Structure 1
C-alpha cells in the first residue's frame, strides 16, 4: 500500500511539467551558486553564464501560451530598446554612467554582448508578468515593475563586477545607473502593458524568486 502511494506521488510529480521545470530551475540556480562561490570552479561557471541566461529564458518561454504578433513584437522591441540603451551607455555614458563590458557574457556587437538584450527581455517579462492581474493602471504597473527591476539590478551589480561581467569607471556604481535602469525599464514596461498578448506564465514568479535568491547568496558568498 505504501509503495503504491509513493508510486502515485512520483507519477503525479513527473506528470506535472510545471513542477518539474520548477525543480529544474531550483537545482540549476543552486548549482550555479556553488560553482560561482568556489574559486576553483568559478572560471568554468563564468564561462557558463551565457548558457545560464539563455536556458532560463528558454525554460520560461516554453510555458508562454500565446505566440502572436503582439508577443513577438514585444520580444523584438524589448531586446532592441534594452540593447540600444546599453550601446548608447557604453559609448556616451548616458543613461547609466561610464562602464565597459568584459568578455564573460559572450559575443559582442558595438562593444555590448548580445546577451544583454536577452537579459532586458527576460527581466521585463518576469517583472511585468507578476503584476499583470494585480495592478490595472498601466502607468502604475510600469512604475512598480521598474522599481522591482532596479532592486534586482542593485543585487546584480556587485556580483557582476566581481565576476568581470562589466566594470565601472573608478570602480564605483553611480546613482545614474539605477535612474537609467528605471527609465529604460519604464518605457519597455509601458509598451509591454499596451500590447495585447497573454501575460500569465506559471514560471514567472518562481524564476524571479530564484534569480533574486541567487544574487543575494552570491553577494554574501563572493
Structure 2
C-alpha cells in the first residue's frame, strides 16, 4: 500500500466512523431522529464514493463490475417490487429518494457497496488462509473458487439479515404482511450475490482495498446497535 493510498484509507475510515457513529447517536438519543433518517441517501452515496476513492488501480474491469452491480441490483429489485417473483412482496418508502419503477436508484449503489465489500473481505481471508497453508497440500482451483463464492455470498446475505429489521423500523421499505421477512428474500439474496461474486472473482482488478473491509464491519456494527436499541 502506497503512502498516498494509506492517507486515503485513513481519511475514508475517519469519515465512515464519523457518519455512522453520529448517525447512531442522532437516531437513538436526540430529538433529530427524522433528520438523520432523511439524510440516509447522503450517507449511502458518500460511502460508495469513499470505496471508489480508496480503490487503487481503477481499471476498466473495476468500473464494469461497479456498473454491473448497479444495473443488476436495480433490475432484480424492479422485478421483486413489481411482481413479487424475487425476494417477496415488499414496497419501498420515500426515504431513499428518486425511484425508477418503484425502486430507489440508490438501491443499485447499495448492491455495489455490499457485494464489493463482501468480495474484498473474502478475498483477503482467502489469501491469508493460503499463506497459512504454505507448504501443505492446496485445495484445487475449483474448490477455492466455489468456497470463495459461497462464503462471500453468505456474508452478503448475513449483512442483509442484520440490516432488514432496522430498515423496516426506519421505513426504508415494508414487507407484506407487515414485518414478516420471508425466507425467500434471503434465498434470492444468496443466489444473486453468488452470481455477482462469481464475476467479482473472475474480473481482473485490485482486490486489496482495506477500507472495504472496514466499511462492512462498521455498517454491520451500526445496524446491530440500532437493532438493539431502536
- State how far apart, in whole Å, the 2-side matches of 1:24 and 1:69 are: 27
2:80 matched residue in structure 1? 89
The runs of at least 4 aligned residues of structure 1 exceeding 6 Å deviation read none
Say if 2:8 and 2:53, in contact at 8 Å, map to a contact too: no
What SS does structure 2 have at the residue aligned with 1:200? coil
Provide structure 2 residue ranges, at least 5 long, that are not aligned to the other structure: 1-5, 127-140
Q: Is 1:116 the equivalent of 2:124?
A: no
2:211 matched residue in structure 1? 203
- State how far apart, in whole Å, the 2-side matches of 1:50 and 1:189 are: 25
| Counterpart among 156, 168, 186 of residue 149 in structure 1 | 156
What SS does structure 1 have at the residue aligned with 2:148? helix
- What count of residue pairs does the alignment treat as equivalent? 209
- State how far apart, in whole Å, the 2-side matches of 1:138 and 1:81 are: 22
Q: Is 1:212 the equivalent of 2:220?
A: yes
Alpha-carbon displacement from aligned partner over 1:158-198 (angstroms, at most 9, x marks no partner) = 10011110000011111001111111111100011111111
Provide structure 1 residue ranges, at least 5 long, that are not aligned to the other structure: 1-14
| Counterpart among 32, 35, 40 of residue 26 in structure 2 | 35
- State how far apart, in whole Å, the 1-side matches of 2:207 and 2:227 are: 31
What SS does structure 2 have at the residue aligned with 1:167? strand
Q: Provide the TM-score with structure 1 as the length reference.
A: 0.89
- State how far apart, in whole Å, the 2-side matches of 1:144 and 1:17 are: 28
Q: Is 1:48 the equivalent of 2:42?
A: no
How far apart are 1:156 and its partner, in Å? 0.6
What is the CA RMSD across the aligned residues, in angstroms?
1.6
- State how far apart, in whole Å, the 2-side matches of 1:133 and 1:185 are: 18
Alpha-carbon displacement from aligned partner over 1:34-60 (angstroms, at most 9, x marks no partner) = 112246211101110000011111112
